[in-house]
Amino acid sequence: MEQKISIIIPVYNVEKHLSRCIESILKQTFRNIEIILIDDGSSDKCPQICDLYAKRDPRIKVIHKENAGAGIARNSGIELATGKFISFVDSDDYIAPNMFEKLYNEIEHKDVDAVFCNYYEVFDTGQRIKKLDIKNNHIIKNEEINTFYYSIISFFRPVVWRALFKADILLKYDLKFVSEREVLSEDKFFLLDYLKFCNSLAFITDCLYYYYINTNSLIHRYNPSQFNLLIKAYYKLLDYNQTEKWEYLVNMQFIEYSKTEIKKLCLSKNKYIKKRHLLKEILNMPILKKSFKKILKHPLPIKKKIFYWALCSKNPELMYFIGKHVHRK
């Protein structure tokens, strides 16, 4: 008999996309599922949509709670889950009809501790891009997992929504998500913690998850508090591993994330004088200079060198020009 999969969906103000998400799960070829909808204090029609679906299908459970963020909502779902396996889906995304059949066959029949698949990025413009950081079907074990650890902060996108996990590992070691209001990249820290207790992992090349991207929110929203969360994530990541390679990758990632936030600021709708002031604050952060020095020993592509040079110059006008006109990718 097929073992049950618990699918946890944090829900917050996504009334336009929620039905698409739930319907894609109800259409799964794998039938032994429970869907746990965590309404995270939505102010739109999401609470009513969740309740309507729960009345239609007994496999759906709903929790209504005060808003605390996706990580904490997922923790509530883990506590309620009764399946042998657990998966996470974001409420504005959707999945292929055979996603859980494929993932289940890997994790159950090949006796691995987690399985990951490739995914699509789906833009609100209609554009769809395959993301193929898994190049071939394979299984890694023991020492190979230690090597994969480094991939989490380099080329492999560290997200939980394209994977299937064993519930007993989560429960035995009391694994939880950190709040994204305390530190950035809660998915990454969850995966790093989970990997500590794994003996084997499976990877399949099928693109089974559709990750929705709102281009307006992606480009034009800059939040100054993000840098404080970014710095907390930086120090938290450094504690996971004491090797020189890990330190280099963490510093490289910190600079790249800083680049993304600076680009958001440069392309935001704030007035130039406000942008200049915020850029000056960012460029005078000692941690940027410290992180930059850590990666200088290694060869860098010319575009990265230009950006890093601008960072070290502490010149907000130069940084604005590069952030808006030159460093587009």
Predicted confidence (pLDDT) per residue in 263-281, tens digit: 888 888 888 888 888 888 8
Contact between 232 and 212 under an 8 Å Cβ cutoff? The reply is no
- The answer to whether residues 158 and 20 belong to one domain is yes
Low-confidence stretches of the chain (pLDDT < 50) are 219-220, 327-329
C-alpha span between 118 and 205 (Å, rounded): 6
Q: What is the dihedral of CA 274, 275, 276, 277, to 10 degrees?
A: 50
Residue 174: predicted pLDDT: 97
List the beta bridge partners of residue 118. Answer: 207
C-alpha span between 9 and 146 (Å, rounded): 29
Secondary structure of residue 159 in the 3-state scheme:
coil
- Local structure of residue 177 (DSSP, 8 states): P
Instruction: Give the domain-ending residue among 213, 241, 272.
Output: 213
C-alpha span between 65 and 20 (Å, rounded): 22
Any idea which residue has 């090949």 for tokens?
110
Supply angle C-alpha 28, 30, 35, rounded to 5: 65
Residue 328: predicted pLDDT: 47
- Local structure of residue 168 (DSSP, 8 states): H
Contact between 191 and 93 under an 8 Å Cβ cutoff? The reply is no
Secondary structure of residue 95 in the 3-state scheme:
strand
Question: What CATH number has the domain bearing residue 42?
Answer: 3.90.550.10
Contact between 149 and 192 under an 8 Å Cβ cutoff? The reply is yes
- The answer to whether residues 187 and 309 belong to one domain is no
Dihedral class, residue 64 (left if φ above 0, else alpha if ψ from -120 to 50, else beta)? beta
DSSP H or E stretch at residue 151 = helix 143-151
Residue 314: predicted pLDDT: 75
Secondary structure of residue 322 in the 3-state scheme:
helix
Contact between 319 and 311 under an 8 Å Cβ cutoff? The reply is yes
- The answer to whether residues 288 and 196 belong to one domain is no
- The answer to whether residues 180 and 240 belong to one domain is no
Secondary structure of residue 139 in the 3-state scheme:
strand
Which range of residues forms the domain containing residue 170?
A: 5-213
Half-sphere exposure of 23 (CA within 13 A, CB side): 6
- The answer to whether residues 124 and 264 belong to one domain is no
- The answer to whether residues 117 and 223 belong to one domain is no
Instruction: Give the domain-ending residue among 213, 246, 264.
Output: 213
Burial class (CB in 10 A: 0-12, 13-18, 19+), 101: middle
- The answer to whether residues 144 and 223 belong to one domain is no
- The answer to whether residues 205 and 82 belong to one domain is yes
Residue 326: predicted pLDDT: 54
- The answer to whether residues 78 and 177 belong to one domain is yes
| Neighbouring residues of 96: CB distance < 8 A, sequence distance ≥ 6 | 24, 206, 207, 208, 209, 210
Q: Where are the beta strands (DSSP E) in the chain?
A: 5-11, 33-40, 60-65, 85-88, 94-95, 114-123, 128-131, 138-141, 163-166, 200-213
Residue 187: predicted pLDDT: 95
CB neighbourhood size of 35 (10 A)? 24
- The answer to whether residues 150 and 267 belong to one domain is no
- The answer to whether residues 152 and 101 belong to one domain is yes
User: For the chain, how many structural domains are there in total?
Assistant: 2
- The answer to whether residues 131 and 276 belong to one domain is no
Half-sphere exposure of 10 (CA within 13 A, CB side): 21
Q: Taken in order 60, 64, 70, 76, is the CA torsion positive or negative?
A: negative
Instruction: Give the domain-ending residue among 197, 213, 229.
Output: 213
Q: Taken in order 158, 159, 165, 170, is the CA torsion positive or negative?
A: positive
